[in-house]
Chains A and B, each alone.
Chain A
Amino acid sequence: MGEIKVGKYIILDDRHYTDTDEWVKIEDEVATVGITDYAQKKLRDIVGIELPSVSQEVKAGDPVGTIESVKAASDLYSPLSGTVIEVNEELEASPEIINQDPYGEGWMFKIKIKDKSEAQRLLTPEKYIEKIRGE
């Protein structure tokens, strides 16, 4: 795993990204999802989170939760289709973990992937860097 610095933002080279600023780490049939360092810095202090439920069926691009920051409430989207198999319950009591460690302890939910080919539509780290440079 390598860190790429783009200005004050960190991007990791071992995962995929979305246009809506989620990161996805795919290991076999399971995708772990969180929001990027860029997203958490833009949102500033995150004070609350609503996560999807375990066993929930989700589709790629669906809003599945809400991130409450002091600035605004933002939708959290599922990057892939599948079934939610685990959510990071710790974030409900301590959402500030997302600000402190967006790529690690701040992960949000895991999906059992339905269709692996959907991953081809996700952004590579290079494409995601282009996206945030353009904003």
Chain B
Amino acid sequence: MFKTPLSSIEEKIGANFGEFAGWEMPMDYTSYQDEHMAVRQSAAFFDLSHMGRIRIKGKKEELDRIVTRSLSAENFRMIGPSAMLNENGGFIDDVMIYKISDNEFLMVTNAINREKDIKWIKSNSSLEVDDLTFEYVMLAIQGRRVWELLGFKTDLQPLQFVLNTTFLGEEVFLLSRSGWTGEDGLEVWAKAEVAERIINKLIEKRVKPAGLITRDSLRQEMGFVLYEEDIDENTTPVEARYWVFDLDKEFIGKEKVEEQLKDGVKRMRVGFKLQKGVRVIPRHGYKIKIVGAEIGEVTSSTYSPYLGRVIGMGYVNSSNAFFGFHASIDIRGKEYRAKISDFPLI
């Protein structure tokens, strides 16, 4: 198992570690509910060093054929979220792409897919790929009061980034205005010893540490997917209603995407909310029903501290995607009312 290089400082500040995608990472510090509310009301930081980070060099045209979003945007913009699809339109991965120049890009992959993605890029192009995952760590600083707590306002626009810059007086490799929580904030790639100093400064500024459980509950409120839970090689962006493609260019899997856009899909991703006060969580694979008939399955769910109710997402037959209607979810043999909802859920 890989271990985050930040584990010793995180242990000192109270991290409880757990395994995720082959990495030992901070799962929580105090309680995910407190950490979650810190992001929604104040600010918190996350260690995301488990996420795959690679540098891609070569012809833009070659990468453009592998990823679903057009790479023609100006330099120093994040092209994302984007995806790499197989010929059937299924997700190899959903990724973030940073454009440095017409022949150099950075990519953030899901931790679980890092090696698969590198292999996929190499087998579909002559692009040069360097794995930077173990060279830098990655932190995300996110929250409604993030600028107030950090004590500055960045010049970066959303999805812009800079390389080799300073953050809180420390030299970092990459600083981007991006995140996966639905709140404003930054993501930083830095050497581990630099990141340790940044963590100390963040704590001085009352930015709370938060773990991966919180990251999961935040992304579910926004309706963001998690690879292997909500999307995989057998789900397409159209079924997932994850609009990460540009149809004015060619890419692997485009034919299937266009076919589905024209013909429609059999199933689609929806959100749901259980009634307030119901404290059971439907797990991956639990059945969604309407008047006794099975119409789909849950893919992920959590208790939303912000809404004070259980929320989640899953796939239902497209002809049964009755937004606003109360379906039910079978949780260990008992049916619970669940309102079919669109994203975001907050």
Contacts and interface: CB of A to CB of B under 8 A. Distances in A.
Interface of A: 41, 44-45, 47-50, 66, 68, 70, 72-73, 92-93, 95-96, 99
Q: Tell me if A's interface is mostly helix, strand, loop or mixed.
A: mixed
Contacts of A68: 279-281, 303
B27 interface: yes
Contacts of A49: 279
A41 B17 CA distance: 11
A66 B332 CA distance: 10
Contacts, number: 48
7 contacts: A48-B281, A66-B280, A66-B332, A68-B279, A68-B280, A68-B281, A92-B279
Interface residues of B, number: 19
B217 interface: yes
Closest 6 CB pairs of A and B: A48-B279, A47-B303, A45-B32, A68-B281, A70-B213, A48-B280
Given A66-B332, A70-B217, A70-B303, A45 B279 contact: no
Contacts of B126: none
Contacts of A93: 277
A44 B283 contact: no
Contacts of B281: 47-48, 68, 70, 73
A68 B31 CA distance: 15
Contact of A44 (B28, B277, B310): B28
Contacts of A96: 31, 33
Contacts of A47: 279, 281, 303, 310
Given A70-B213, A70-B217, A45 B280 contact: no
Given A48-B278, A70-B217, A92-B279, 17 more contacts: A41-B16, A44-B32, A44-B213, A45-B28, A45-B32, A45-B33, A45-B303, A47-B281, A48-B280, A49-B279, A50-B280, A68-B280, A70-B32, A70-B213, A70-B216, A70-B302, A73-B280
Nearest to B32: A45
A41 B14 CA distance: 13
Nearest to A70: B213
B163 to A, nearest CB: 36
Chain B CB within 10 A, most for which of A47, A48, A96: A47
A95 B278 CA distance: 12
A108 to B, nearest CB: 14
A96 B28 CA distance: 15
A135 B235 CA distance: 38
Contacts of B277: 93
A124 B304 CA distance: 38
